[in-house]
Structure 1
Amino acid sequence: MARSALLPALLLAALGAAVRGAPPACDVPPGLWCSSRRVAAACQVEQQCLGLRRPGQPAARPVELSLYYESLCPACRQFLAAQLFPTWVMLYDILNITLVPYGNAQEKNVSGKWQFKCQHGSDECLGNMMETCLMDMLQDFDLYFLVIFCMESGSSVTGNIGACLQVYAPDIKLSDIMACVKGDRGIKLMHENAQRTDALHPPHNYVPWILVNGKHTDDLQAQAQNALFNLVCGLYTGPKPDACRSSGPSPAALKTMSRCLK
């Protein structure tokens, strides 16, 4: 399925001035809107689905981007909302994203149980854990990234999760997320994020810390934070999608390249 065919519908659902859901008859996640003519009609994206790649048609390997971040770091929220999410929407078919919420946090084993201290306080630890549990429960990136974008772009990351779930993942109960957050599963998942972050080479010294195709350099970081759309289009080795002929998301929201230092 060509992901880029979902651009208009995703933009309407997630980037509009008002938060609105899919048409009432559309009861499937965005990743399946073009799975059949019936579903496309119900979700009002028939025209956008006409250009789907035929089964078996080869595709070049998507660009891989890994984001190591903190849920309340202003620079991380800015990058995720103003660069990463719009670029993913426009280049959906040629970009794979991995999210690792932990960043500059610290962990300590106390009597056999991991405890975490976060750069921006306990609310950030809560946000990191919420997003980690959300990813674990949903598994589907197309769904959990919509929820995380909704959380990170709103006024309160931790306070917005209930409303964001209602819009983008109504089958997931907030109580189930919180059971993970407060239980052993959440601690285990956060410890894994800590291990992945501590294993970075070179070691991170700020967030957002960005890997492109498994590599981090100062140049790649600067390009990603200033013009991610252009970077992804330039690195993709297959036929360029139509979106790459546009100018991409406006960089106006990123007047300076900011970071949260370790």
Structure 2
Amino acid sequence: MGQLGPTWEKVKLTNLMTVDLLPYGNSRESQAESKWTFECQHGVNECWGNLLETCVIHYYPNTTQHLDIIRCIEEDFVITMGYSWKDTLSKCSQSHGVDISKITACTEGKEGNSLEHIVATFTGAHDYVPWVLIDGKHDADAEKNLLTQVCKAYKGTPPRVCHKLL
């Protein structure tokens, strides 16, 4: 969220960008009988975090809302080192109005498993994370200055937030 959160706060009331967040990282998936299994670079807690965020995005499709919830989740997960995704969800639901039962059912059930598989199919090849795409192309400069790169790529009259950057 280092670049995405602050950039989104500056542009969320404009039509400058849309965000497709894919919580998958450097995971690998395989199919075991009727469900998918995921192996994450940083272990099982990262996999639970990815799944939790995928369910949040599904049930809270408004970008501002799910980014606020995910920022809360990631901040708490870093503090607790991923100790308990349920505790993290509980803390974040209080400040962001998350329906805990809906997200828990998604995270623990077939729905979340299926949604995470969809995220896996959309993630595509990448060398590291975050892997930022602008107009479908990797943009390494956006990882350091997302707002400038989005403003440069914008077709049309750029909003005021871009004026000093271009």
TM-score category, normalised to shorter length: 0.7 to 0.9
The unaligned stretches of length 5 or more in structure 2 are none
Q: Corresponding residue for 1:46?
A: none
In 1, the alpha carbon distance for the partners of 2:9 and 2:91 equals 21
Identity, in percent, stands at 36
Matched letter for residue 175 of structure 1 = S
- CA deviations on 1:51-95 (whole Å, 9 max, x unpaired) are xxxxxxxxxxxxxxxxxxxxxxxxxxxxx1x21111111122111
SS state at 1:114 partner = strand
Q: Give the conservation status (yes or no) of the 8 Å contact 1:147–1:161.
A: no
* Aligned-residue CA RMSD (Å): 1.8
Cα offset, 1:138, TM superposition: 1.7
Report what 1:98 is aligned to. 20
**What residue is the counterpart of 2:133 in the other structure?**
211
**2 CA distance for matches of 1:110 and 1:148?**
29
Q: Give the Cα–Cα distance (whole angstroms) in 1 for the partners of residues 108 and 89 of structure 2.
A: 16
Q: After TM superposition, give the deviation of residue 246 of structure 1 in Å.
A: 4.9
Q: Distance in 2 between matches of 1:195 and 1:86?
A: 28
Taking structure 1 as the reference length, what is the TM-score of the superposition? 0.56
Secondary structure of the residue that 1:109 maps to in structure 2? Answer: strand
SS in 2 for 1:97: coil
Question: Which secondary structure does the structure 1 equivalent of 2:38 belong to?
Answer: strand
Of Structure 1 and Structure 2, which has the larger fraction of its residues in helix? 2
Query: Runs (4+) of structure 1 moved beyond 6 Å?
Result: none
Question: Structure 1 128/95 Cα, relative in aligned 2: closer, same or farther at 3 Å?
Answer: same
Gaps of 5+ in 1: 1-79, 248-262
2:39 corresponds to which of 104, 112, 117:
117
Secondary structure of 1:98's match?
Answer: coil
Q: Is the 8 A contact 1:84 1:228 kept in 2?
A: yes
Question: 1:158-237 alignment to 2 at 5 Å?
Answer: 158=85, 159-168=87-96, 170=97, 172-197=98-123, 200=124, 203-216=125-138, 220-221=139-140, 223-237=141-155
State the distance in 2 between where 1:227 and 1:138 align.
27
Shift of 1:128: 0.5
d(CA) in 2 for partners of 1:125 and 1:160?
14
DSSP 3-state at the match of 1:160 = helix
- Structure number with larger C-alpha Rg: 1
- Name the structure 2 match of 1:88: 8
1:206 Cα deviation from its structure 2 partner: 1.5
Aligned counterpart, 1:244: 162
- For residues 211 and 89 of structure 1, the distance between their equivalents in structure 2, rounded to whole angstroms, comes to 19
Cα distance in 1 for residues equivalent to 2:162 and 2:127: 32
> How many equivalent residue pairs?
157
Deviations, residues 120-163 of structure 1 (Å, cap 9, x unaligned): 11111110010111111122222111101222234246343222
